[in-house]
């Protein structure tokens, strides 16, 4: 079985009235190549006539954002002309590539009516050869995402990208990243095989799971070694897991706010290109 090196509890980093937990990066874990950032917003309930999500227009370059809407909604707009409102159970995948501006706010309906909200956003790095690729965006509602279920129906996986036990993900991606959101009933269990060469990403959103005889509570990220392909997962209570794996790029990574590049010079160039309007304009 694949050994767990360490468990990392998400750090609480609220953004105004938005509850936010961040398991990556933290003081003890910078990244799990190519997974570089995760914010877990909520769960919480917004009252009627709220201000919604605070993520107005901002730029990105050199990475991808994958946004999982467990509750609530997100209205996405970007400088390449994409617009969508994705609701509970849906997923947004944006490849920033050479750069664009986007906003992620709540819909007018959500701001007016309020309701439960829980959203996760994962940043996935792009390799050097793809950092300046054409930007892309796609948003899918819950019923458009591939599903794997076990025979008992006690485990259900939304297969977002890659492959999960023979089911192909709903999103085609420029790299080999596999991502799924897995829902477990209490006392359910499954065995998974992850290629030995891949890095694993294992974050318990809700509940309590045991993986390879180690218990992982909610709001914890498990850091694995690469000694085996096997993950044996059992649910001690009803649980939700964000599961990913991918081949690491093993390249230098330099962060500059919303930009993720391979050198400080490329970060500086990104800021210059943003200021000069080369990442698009906002109306």
Per the structure, the complete domain to which residue 128 belongs is given by 4-275
Average pLDDT over residues 93-122: 98
pLDDT, tens digit, for every residue of 233-253?
999 999 999 999 999 999 999
Would 280 be classed as within a structural domain?
no
User: What is the reported pLDDT for 282?
Assistant: 86
For residue 3, the tally of other CB atoms under 10 A from its CB is 12
Going by pLDDT thresholds of 50, 70 and 90, the confidence category of residue 107 is very high
Apex 122 CA angle, 228 and 254, nearest 5? 90
Tell me which residue of 20, 106, 12, 96 sits closest to 58, measured CA to CA. 96
Q: Is 224 strand, coil or helix?
A: strand
Would 283 be classed as within a structural domain?
no
| Chain centroid offset of residue 7 CA | 18
Would 248 be classed as within a structural domain?
yes
User: What is the reported pLDDT for 255?
Assistant: 95
Strand order in the sheet with 35-46: 11-12, 20-24, 35-46, 115-125, 63-71, 91-95, 136-140
User: What is the reported pLDDT for 71?
Assistant: 98
Q: What is the pTM of this model?
A: 0.97
| DSSP assignments along 62-118, one per residue | SEEEEEEEEESEEEEEETTS-EEEEETT-EEEEE-TT-EEEEEE--HHHHHH-EEEE
Q: Which residues are annotated as a binding site for Fe cation?
A: 58, 60, 102, 104
Q: Is 16 strand, coil or helix?
A: coil
Largest Cα separation within the chain, whole Å, is 56
Q: Number of helices and strands (H, E) in the chain?
A: 2, 26
Would 147 be classed as within a structural domain?
yes
Whether pLDDT at 154 is above 80: yes
Tell me the C-alpha distance between 253 and 73, whole Å: 31
Whether pLDDT at 141 is above 80: yes
| Chain centroid offset of residue 126 CA | 14
Q: How many residues does the chain have?
A: 283
- H or E element, residue 177: none
CATH number for 256: 2.60.120.10
User: What is the reported pLDDT for 283?
Assistant: 74
Going by pLDDT thresholds of 50, 70 and 90, the confidence category of residue 82 is very high
The percentage of the chain sitting over the pLDDT mark of 70, rounded to a whole number, equals 100
Whether pLDDT at 4 is above 80: yes
User: What is the reported pLDDT for 235?
Assistant: 98
CB 113 within 8 A of CB 48: yes
Average pLDDT over residues 50-72: 97
| DSSP assignments along 33-60, one per residue | TTEEEEEEEEEEEEPSS-----EEEEEE
Whether pLDDT at 212 is above 80: yes
Tell me the C-alpha distance between 269 and 275, whole Å: 10
Whether pLDDT at 191 is above 80: yes
User: What is the reported pLDDT for 220?
Assistant: 98
Please give the tally of structural domains in the chain. 1
Tell me the C-alpha distance between 75 and 94, whole Å: 13
Average pLDDT over residues 25-53: 96
């Amino acid at each position: 079985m694949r050994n767990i090196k360490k468990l990392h509890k998400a750090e609480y980093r609220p953004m105004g009235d938005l509850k936010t937990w961040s398991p990556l990066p933290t003081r003890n874990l910078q990244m799990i190549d190519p997974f570089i950032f995760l914010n877990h917003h909520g769960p919480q309930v917004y009252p009627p006539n709220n201000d919604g999500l605070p993520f107005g227009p901002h730029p990105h370059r050199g990475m991808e954002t994958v946004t999982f809407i467990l509750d609530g909604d997100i209205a996405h707009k970007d400088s390449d002309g994409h617009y969508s409102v994705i609701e509970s159970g849906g997923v947004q995948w944006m490849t920033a590539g050479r750069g664009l501006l986007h906003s992620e706010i709540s819909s007018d309906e959500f701001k007016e009516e309020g309701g439960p909200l829980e959203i996760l956003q994962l940043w996935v790095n792009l390799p050097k050869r793809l950092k300046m690729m054409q930007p892309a965006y796609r948003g899918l509602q819950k019923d458009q995402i591939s599903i794997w279920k076990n025979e008992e129906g006690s485990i259900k996986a939304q297969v977002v990208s890659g492959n999960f036990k023979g089911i192909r993900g709903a999103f085609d991606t420029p790299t080999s990243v596999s991502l799924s959101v897995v829902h477990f009933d209490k006392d359910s269990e499954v065995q998974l095989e992850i290629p030995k060469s891949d890095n694993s990403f294992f974050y318990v959103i809700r509940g309590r799971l045991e993986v390879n005889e180690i218990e992982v509570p909610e709001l914890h990220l498990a850091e694995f070694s690469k000694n085996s392909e096997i993950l044996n997962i059992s649910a001690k209570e009803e649980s939700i897991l964000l599961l990913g794996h991918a081949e690491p790029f093993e390249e230098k990574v330099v962060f500059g706010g919303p930009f993720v590049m391979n050198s400080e010079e490329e970060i500086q160039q990104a800021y210059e290109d943003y200021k000069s309007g080369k990442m698009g304009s906002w109306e």
